[in-house]
Structure 1
Amino acid sequence: MADLQRIVDELAARLERPLLLEDRLQRVVAYSEQNGVMDDIRRDSILRRHTTPEVRQWLRDAGAHDSPGPLRTPGAPHLGLLPRVCVPVRHEAGLLGFLWFIDAPPPMTADQVEEAAAAAPGLALALYHESLATGLASHRELEAVTGLLRGERDAARQLIEAGAFPQGQPVTALVARPPSGEPDEAVRLALEQGLLAVRRRLSGHHPLHLVRYDHAVLLVSGAPLAPDELHAALSVRVVVGVGRPRPSLAEAAGSYAEARHAAEVAARVPGLGHTARWDRLGVYRMLTGLPDHELHPGLELLLAEDQHLPLLETLETYLDLAGSAVATSRALRLHRTSLYYRLQRVEELARTDLKDGGERLALHLSLKLARLSGRYRPRGVHQVIAQVGQDPV
């Protein structure tokens, strides 16, 4: 697949136009950086690795499957389809695929179409030898990686036999996801493009990737990629979770589960930074499998009303600092009298005793668990400080 991608990238650079290569069933095989005009069909093709039946029929009716050379296909506003230039890719008269360019604006010149047609034989040969003869078609890789992350051991065998991943090499999973909110199509497309760029750069490490609804997954042999490199490759802001390496591809699901949990923790606990490694999550590693309804009863009472948020923030800082009133006052820039007043209010409202070690532990763990569930969202130290004037001194 490396030759195909190289040819596609070089052709797109020469023509200064984005392009997409499909096989004869119109399943996406490779595409260049999409830095020009884009319609819904191009976006969906990249995200789903195939074209919808309605669009396939429209392009077939326009002559894409029968044309011996380049042709222009009309737009279809009702399908979200812009006009295109299609260059059929053939090997020994057999149709292997299609090279697609969006033809607006401005439309391709005759010289550009001729240069695209001149590249078709090289693409046909690479497509024949790599995509059809020895490699995995992209839709098959997508299915295999999806199965792999579900723990299907046969999926690992398929990928290894196809040469997509080396036999007997360790695997590490990285998960990238937006830090908040549900990603839209543009974010998912940016994730797809960024991961493809990473794959090209790390081709010697046989990387695999998958973009899911709310996150993206990268599997690499060993750990050749620093998380900061992944951040740099993506054009959108994300948090990255890193799972522990596993000795073989068949065990990738375990590393993936850890990476996904680590990314979730990084999204919910900003203090951890934009990257979280599973083996460095500390207490959050133990809390990820616990039900969020198993909280200290007193904490449930404080969480029930927004007005108690300053008390929760003060309590968490106090417990994080091992119950040191001096350190907590300094961290929050809070007068000692105000701190004692708040802690007393916590004891009254939560019906607890902060001198009891067991109670402190239960409250501390419950606070962290409430963070993970999203029920507790602290505002930051500067906003806790702003509450000082409201406390009796």
Structure 2
Amino acid sequence: MASGLQRVVDGLAVQLGRAVMLEDRLQHVLAYSRQKEPLDDIRRDSILRRETTPEVREWLRAAGIFDAQGPIRTPGAAALGLLPRVCVPARHGGRLLGFLWFIDAGPPMSEEEIGVVAEVASAVGVALFHESLAIGLAAHRELDAVTSVLLGTPGAAEEGARSLIEAGSFPQSEPVTVAVARPLLDGQVDEPLREAMERALLTVRHRLGPRRTLHLVRYDHAVLIFSGAARPEQIHAAMEFPVVVGTGEPRPRLDQASGSYVEAARAAEVAARMPALGPSAEWSRLGVYRLLTQLPPATLKLHEGLERLLADETHRPLLETLEVYLDLAGSAHATSERLRLHRTSLYYRLRRVEELAGTDLRDGGERLTLHLSLKLARLLGRYPRAHGRGTAT
């Protein structure tokens, strides 16, 4: 089918004496003719990357290409390095399936030329429709198999993994790592947002090549299964909106990926609640938060004295001093150096903590309870980190 579309594109280019590019509805490049001037940076980048950048997609969406029922001219954008274009949507039964693109300069296209393309576009739409049926069937089977691997029983996971490997969708002998992306946006995750996550994951899969990744979009997050090590930076680069990405630990086989998925989902939840950790979080580096995220929420209660300190914003310096002191195993010397605080001031703050919280820092059980309560308060968003970013402790 791809070779047939290439012949159509080459034939149009010869007939019109103009360069042609064909994209699918997600603006991934499917075919293009020999390119000649005028040629802008966007066309070059699209051919090299096999896709249009998010900034240009947004510009062209605003120009109305997704709503157009027939050929339209889109304006240039000097800031983006974009020349004017003629866009001819390829539809079948009213369904948008792709776009035929022409640079509308040197000289602009005539109405007769555009009419020729419009006639060909209907045939392109039919060809893309038939291709989408085959791809859709394969995608549906892949979706079922990936869902079984991540969410099914051990037997279903094994069967799903076997079908994916036998279909050539994933390698058999490499370990797997799962990454979960959660949107950092106010409000509920709606269908357009899920579609945007789907586009981003397909872009990552396209960039990394065949047999390297699998994906699944769930109700409020997106999942990517990597062959080998996870590549969270690829997910961030492809998303059209801010996300946090959590990664689980590798598993030796695809049918064991569900364990990595659970870890990745929890890591992403921690990253979403604790911005100080940064946009990505690895399960293996979350320290005590690995324990806290696995406990039933109803069982998690803070130290009563700590609750009193949290209730008053003026006690923030005391809380952060206490946290650093406990992070450094109760070393007054190390805490003074970390906070650049005179030892006398440190002891004064620690005594105030004991007085206000009704605790005794010489008691190992109290220190442990306070330390866990501080980390839980961070996880629950009760107070943000102020003394720096870094690995969770």
Bin of the TM-score, shorter chain as denominator length: 0.5 to 0.7
- 2:97 corresponds to: 99
Letter in 2 for 1:278: W
Query: How far off is 1:16 after superposition?
Result: 7.2
Query: How far off is 1:181 after superposition?
Result: 4.8
The change in CA–CA distance for 1:217 and 1:327 in structure 2 (over 3 A counts) is: same
Q: Could you tell me whether the CA contact under 8 Å between 2:22 and 2:98 is conserved in 1?
A: no
Partners of 1:210 and 1:87 in 2: how far apart? 28
Q: Show CA shifts across 1:338-369 (max 9, x none).
A: 32222112112222111112211221122112
The change in CA–CA distance for 1:294 and 1:338 in structure 2 (over 3 A counts) is: same
Partners of 2:25 and 2:239 in 1: how far apart? 20
Partners of 2:237 and 2:51 in 1: how far apart? 21
Query: How far off is 1:302 after superposition?
Result: 2.5
- 2:205 corresponds to: 199
Partners of 2:372 and 2:6 in 1: how far apart? 51
Partners of 1:359 and 1:285 in 2: how far apart? 21
For residue 317 of structure 1, the aligned residue among 300, 305, 324 is 324
Q: TM-score, normalised by structure 2?
A: 0.65
Alignment pair present for 1:226 and 2:231: yes
- 1:267 corresponds to: 272
Deviates most, 149-158 or 289-298 = 149-158
Query: How far off is 1:136 after superposition?
Result: 4.1
RMSD in angstroms over aligned alpha carbons?
A: 4.8
Partners of 2:205 and 2:277 in 1: how far apart? 27
User: Unpaired runs of 5+ in structure 2?
Assistant: 13-18, 28-49, 72-86
For residue 308 of structure 1, the aligned residue among 297, 315, 322 is 315
Letter in 2 for 1:198: V
The change in CA–CA distance for 1:118 and 1:162 in structure 2 (over 3 A counts) is: farther
- 2:90 corresponds to: 87
- 2:244 corresponds to: 239
For residue 286 of structure 2, the aligned residue among 281, 286, 294 is 281
Query: How far off is 1:304 after superposition?
Result: 3.5
The change in CA–CA distance for 1:260 and 1:124 in structure 2 (over 3 A counts) is: same
Letter in 1 for 2:371: H
- 1:26 corresponds to: none
Partners of 1:304 and 1:5 in 2: how far apart? 66
Alignment pair present for 1:256 and 2:261: yes
Q: Show CA shifts across 1:49-71 (max 9, x none).
A: xxxxxx9xxx9xxxxxxxxxxx7
User: Unpaired runs of 5+ in structure 1?
Assistant: 23-29, 44-54, 60-70, 74-83, 90-94, 383-393
Q: Could you tell me whether the CA contact under 8 Å between 2:24 and 2:98 is conserved in 1?
A: yes
- 2:61 corresponds to: 38
Query: How far off is 1:261 after superposition?
Result: 1.2
For residue 374 of structure 1, the aligned residue among 345, 367, 381 is 381
For residue 341 of structure 2, the aligned residue among 329, 334, 340 is 334
Letter in 2 for 1:172: T
For residue 179 of structure 2, the aligned residue among 149, 174, 195 is 174
Partners of 1:125 and 1:381 in 2: how far apart? 56
Q: TM-score, normalised by structure 1?
A: 0.65
The SS at the match of 2:97 is: strand
Q: Could you tell me whether the CA contact under 8 Å between 2:267 and 2:282 is conserved in 1?
A: yes
Partners of 2:202 and 2:2 in 1: how far apart? 11
Letter in 1 for 2:379: L
Partners of 2:137 and 2:189 in 1: how far apart? 29
For residue 20 of structure 1, the aligned residue among 6, 25, 28 is 25
The change in CA–CA distance for 1:253 and 1:371 in structure 2 (over 3 A counts) is: same
Q: Could you tell me whether the CA contact under 8 Å between 1:329 and 1:335 is conserved in 2?
A: yes
Identical counterparts, % of pairs: 54
The change in CA–CA distance for 1:285 and 1:21 in structure 2 (over 3 A counts) is: closer
Partners of 2:217 and 2:317 in 1: how far apart? 39
Number of equivalences:
329
The SS at the match of 1:355 is: coil
Q: Could you tell me whether the CA contact under 8 Å between 2:169 and 2:210 is conserved in 1?
A: no
Q: Could you tell me whether the CA contact under 8 Å between 2:215 and 2:224 is conserved in 1?
A: yes
